[in-house]
């Protein structure tokens, strides 16, 4: 009575009360029920009492609680992921995006929800690798793919991204929704562009490959990034004078970096340094 007295008072005051509670069965098991208390009125509208109707919803309650917990876990994973997560319908209308996506793309969640992704990203959508990749998902040619996109944000900064896309099909085989998980690789791309002057013409994937190679060479051979850059350019067949021009350094500085790299490897010839770097690449 302590638990339901407030609902009874509402029914006796003329209101219809709804609540959910566990009811103990004769076997001693607790089962969930939905209960409605409706006021019983006379011809003049005066409350004579109330009618109670209870519906057993135990399995539904257990299933709903499990589904709610699963959705909460999924939402937490999306928010905690280092990737930005975007969920779209078959027409690429944005259903949900993580706060990281909102931050990277400078979106206000309430303003972008329901809008198509092509409206929110570059105007020449059909000519972008991402537009083509998502188009293949929409047409059913692929169920998952990877793409790149460089975005000019409203504040003028450039954002380099890699997109991992997947499509979900309904029972009839039609695309029901599309999800994209986006990696921000701006720092790595900018670092690669500084290491290779010709980098702005390269794809993001190529730049990331080079950046990974540089990290591996530096860690394996114990070279500084500047020494590793000169060593890699040597492996590509550039003479020291050309390397100096490409890196905007003096020829003396380039020679010093080569000499330092040779000393660290206990080598005496540039060709031996090239062979060692090539064995790692």
CATH class of 187-280: mainly alpha
User: How would you write the pLDDT of the chain (281 residues) with one tens digit per residue?
Assistant: 888 899 999 999 999 999 988 888 788 888 888 899 999 999 888 999 999 998 888 888 888 777 777 777 766 766 778 889 999 999 999 998 888 888 888 888 788 889 999 888 865 666 678 888 899 999 988 999 988 888 887 777 888 888 999 999 888 889 999 999 999 888 877 766 666 555 555 555 555 556 677 777 788 888 887 888 888 888 878 888 888 877 777 888 889 889 998 999 898 888 888 888 888 76
Q: How far apart are CA 222 and CA 7, in angstroms?
A: 75
Are 8 and 37 in contact, with CB atoms under 8 Å apart?
A: yes
Q: Are strands 175-184 and 158-169 parallel, antiparallel or unpaired?
A: antiparallel
CATH topology for 81-184 is Beta-Lactamase (3.30.450)
Per-residue pLDDT tens over the stretch 11-25? 999 999 999 888 887
Which pLDDT score, from 0 to 100, does residue 124 have?
Answer: 62
pLDDT digits (tens, 9 = 90+) for 110-162: 888 899 998 888 656 666 788 888 999 999 889 999 888 888 877 778 888 88
Which residues is 27 bridged to in the sheet?
A: none
Instruction: Check residue 158 and give its pLDDT.
Output: 83
- Rounded to two decimals, what is the model's pTM? 0.54
CATH topology identical between 5-62 and 81-184? yes
The reported pLDDT for the residue numbered 190 is: 75
Domain boundaries, the chain: 5-62, 81-184, 187-280
pLDDT attached to residue 18: 92
**What's phi and psi for 162, nearest 5 deg?**
-120, 130
Separation CA 219–CA 138 (nearest Å): 43
Which CATH code for domain 5-62?
A: 3.30.450.20
- Of 118, 123, 75, 106, which Cα lies nearest the Cα of 184? 106
């Amino acid at each position: 009575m302590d638990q339901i007295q407030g609902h009874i008072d509402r029914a006796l005051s003329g209101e219809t009360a709804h609540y959910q509670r566990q009811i103990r069965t004769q076997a001693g098991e607790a089962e969930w029920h939905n209960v409605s208390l409706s006021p019983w009125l006379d011809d003049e509208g005066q409350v004579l009492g109330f009618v109670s109707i209870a519906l057993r919803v135990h399995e539904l309650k257990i299933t709903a609680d499990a589904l709610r917990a699963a959705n909460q876990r999924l939402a937490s994973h999306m928010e905690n992921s280092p990737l930005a997560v975007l969920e779209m319908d078959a027409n690429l209308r944005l259903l949900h995006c993580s706060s990281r996506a909102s931050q990277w793309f400078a979106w206000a969640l309430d303003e972008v929800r329901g809008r198509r992704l092509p409206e929110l990203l570059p105007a020449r959508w059909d000519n972008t690798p991402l537009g083509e990749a998502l188009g293949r998902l929409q047409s059913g040619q692929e169920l998952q793919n990877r793409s790149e996109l460089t975005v000019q944000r409203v504040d003028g900064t450039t954002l380099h991204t890699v997109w991992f896309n997947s499509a979900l099909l309904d029972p009839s085989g039609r695309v029901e929704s599309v999800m994209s998980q986006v990696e921000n690789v701006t720092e790595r791309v900018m670092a690669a562009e500084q290491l290779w002057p010709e980098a702005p013409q390269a794809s993001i994937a190529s730049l990331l490959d080079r950046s990974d190679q540089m990290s591996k060479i530096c860690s394996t051979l114990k070279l500084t990034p500047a020494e590793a850059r000169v060593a890699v350019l040597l492996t590509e067949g550039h003479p020291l004078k050309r390397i100096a021009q490409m890196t905007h350094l003096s020829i003396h500085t380039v020679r010093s970096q080569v000499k330092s790299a040779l000393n660290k490897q206990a080598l005496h010839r540039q060709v031996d340094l090239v062979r060692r770097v090539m064995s790692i690449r």
